[in-house]
A and B are shown apart, each in its own frame.
Chain A
Amino acid sequence: MSQADASILIVDDEFSVRDSLTHWFRADGFRVGAASNATEALKLIEEGAWDLALVDIRMPGMDGVELQRRLAEVSPETVVIIVTAYGSVETAVQALKQGAFDYITKPIDPDELGRLVQNGLRQRRLARENTQLRTSIDALSGAPEIVGESVPMKRVMDLIRQVGPTNVTVFIRGESGTGKELVARAIHAGGPRRYFPLVPVNCGALPESLLESELFGHEKGAFTGAQYQRKGKIELADGGTLFLDEIGTVSPKTQVDLLRVLETKTFTRVGGTRTVRSDFRVICATNQDLQEMIDAGTFRRDLFFRINVFPIDLPSLRDRRDDIPRLAEHFLKKYASQMEKRVTGISPEALDTLGGHDWPGNVRELENAIERALVVGKHGMLQACDLPFGKTGRADEPAGESLADVERGHIARVLDRCEWNISRAARILQVDRATLYNKIARYGLRK
């Protein structure tokens, strides 16, 4: 906000004060308005927004403190500076407690007034930027879209709505691919911590020693290669949410450390001695039966009780078949848009095939199947033969090819359709990039 954009409202019953300050601020390039009493001031506020108001504390009728209180209601974004005579500081303090930005005593030191107004306008600008950023963040990181109208999913969404605004620890259970992280993100986005990060940790992806460092961070020199101090995920989740996925894979030692952190919200970095505090909400998820693990002695009962505060069970896709067409349409739109393909819909035959599949990989498998079908499909409508488990449409093709020939041909087709985007092709083929590169080399495939 440049000075030319900023506006200042002067409220004082003395003409000479209004006149002097108006002159002073106009010389500074501000848009200036003046009111001789609170009623006039409220009328001007009603007519337009003011960035800052200089309000005399003693005025006939409604005084400055009462006006400040009204302004806080009708125009909370206006920064109010109270102008007070020497000796009525106590009243000014009352105005400060009601939310006035600051006060200044009459006669005013012009140097002090300049600083005060600049500080007040800086606060106004920051508040405005904050509002704009929050709006942007809300738009960008709002609750992710969870697709599902089936009875089990409606129940899940009710639970998300209930628990989101609280600070309660949530325990999400569900088979692999049922959307546990999506639900965690929806819970985070629905709560007061949404302006802070959601930090996901896949506990199953890391060996014990790395997981410890990943969670708690480490001090410089904590181990070979620790050249710098590094903050852990718990520290990074300060103010936000820590999402511990695959919690069942955590080793017994790290379970003890985790339990302590969850209870005290304090920890020390690996190789450190200083206690670090972090304020975070916890959401855990697993596809394992922790009760069985407790019975087998591989998961601590006390940690289980700590995390199992608000359980949410996600249904498998088999148990919500009604949602398959809706989900398939959702992924079709998503990937058709990404790949810039014109696909109008899914054929009834393909829908039948999708509905008849067992979906051991749940929604993730369905998503991959649709993405793959879009890559290999050549029709305006997604067909059953495009699906990885659908009719191949090649029953009449001559047999006699070796397994390697089939593999080579299939890889070549997928690569062509993906325009040699290795990451996308690897995802569709369900192999890692290194494996795909090896196969490209082995079969001598070229662009």
Chain B
Amino acid sequence: MADLALVPFHLRDSGELVESVAEHFARRWGLAVAVHPPAFDPETTLDARRGQYDAAALLACLQNEPGASRVLGITDADLCMSIFTFVIGLGQLGGRAAVVSTHRLRTETVGLPASPERLRERLIKEAVHELGHTLGLTHCLDAGCVMRSAAVADEVDIKGNDFVGGCREAFLRAKTALLRKATP
């Protein structure tokens, strides 16, 4: 069983982006990463009135995806929650599923030219961040830590791409447990 399953859906440039994320988790953190399409229909999570996808509903679907200890959905779809106008990503704290959207991470969203490199950096940071939540990590106040909360893309740019201090220790502990669990 893989440590982490990446589940892309409604995603442009899917191949390159997902590959970058998978490579990061494999090389940087030594995780066994699998990539597969969703076993559920993402349209069931569409909030037609708002034209956005319900992140909480997506997590409920993703946590039933088979084949890995943790599941991370990656999508271009704009995510929201019943209470929030939008979210960049959402992860179950100490749970199994997380989801990240590139919708508000793309530079085109704010009228700038497309920047695949910037998008890749942002997506990896948020993917690591949401995986951190599934491993029980909460938000960090350290601006250099990837677990720093970011509500908008600019804040994603500002924060670091790695775990810092206590978050690093907590992540490594949780990751070791995850690897042990995944190893038969």
Interface of A with B (CB < 8 Å)?
2-3, 14, 16-17, 19-21, 23-24, 26-29, 106-111, 113-114
A114 vs B87: C-alpha distance when bound (angstroms): 12
B83, CB-defined interface residue at 8 Å: yes
8 Å CB interface, B65-96 against A? 80-87, 90-93
Complex contact A29–B139 (CB within 8 A): yes
Given the interface pairs A23-B93, A27-B133, A29-B138, the reply to whether A114 lies near B151 with Cβ below 8 Å is yes
By secondary structure, the A interface counts as helix
Complex contact A16–B56 (CB within 8 A): yes
Complex contact B141–A106 (CB within 8 A): no
Complex contact A108–B93 (CB within 8 A): no
In the complex, chain B residues whose CB is within 8 Å of the CB of A24: 84
A1 CB → nearest B CB, Å: 12
A21 vs B56: C-alpha distance when bound (angstroms): 11
A19 vs B93: C-alpha distance when bound (angstroms): 12
Name the one of B56, B133, B152 contacting A111, with C-beta atoms under 8 angstroms.
B152
Complex contact A28–B83 (CB within 8 A): no
Query: Could you list 30 A-B pairs, sorted by A, with CB under 8 Å?
Result: A2-B141, A14-B82, A16-B56, A16-B81, A16-B82, A19-B56, A23-B90, A23-B92, A24-B84, A26-B93, A27-B91, A27-B93, A27-B133, A27-B139, A27-B149, A28-B138, A28-B139, A28-B149, A29-B138, A106-B83, A107-B80, A107-B82, A107-B83, A107-B84, A108-B84, A109-B85, A110-B84, A110-B85, A110-B87, A114-B151
What are the 3 A-B residue pairs with the smallest beta carbon separation, nearest first?
A111-B151, A29-B138, A28-B139
In the complex, chain B residues whose CB is within 8 Å of the CB of A2: 141
New A-B pairs, 8, CB < 8 Å, besides A23-B90, A106-B83: A16-B82, A19-B56, A26-B138, A27-B93, A28-B149, A107-B50, A107-B85, A110-B86
B129 CB → nearest A CB, Å: 10
* Nearest A residue to B91, CB-CB: A27
In the complex, chain B residues whose CB is within 8 Å of the CB of A114: 149, 151
* Nearest B residue to A105, CB-CB: B85
Complex contact B82–A17 (CB within 8 A): yes
In the complex, chain A residues whose CB is within 8 Å of the CB of B141: 2-3
* Nearest B residue to A21, CB-CB: B83
A250 vs B81: C-alpha distance when bound (angstroms): 73
* Nearest A residue to B54, CB-CB: A16
A20 vs B92: C-alpha distance when bound (angstroms): 11
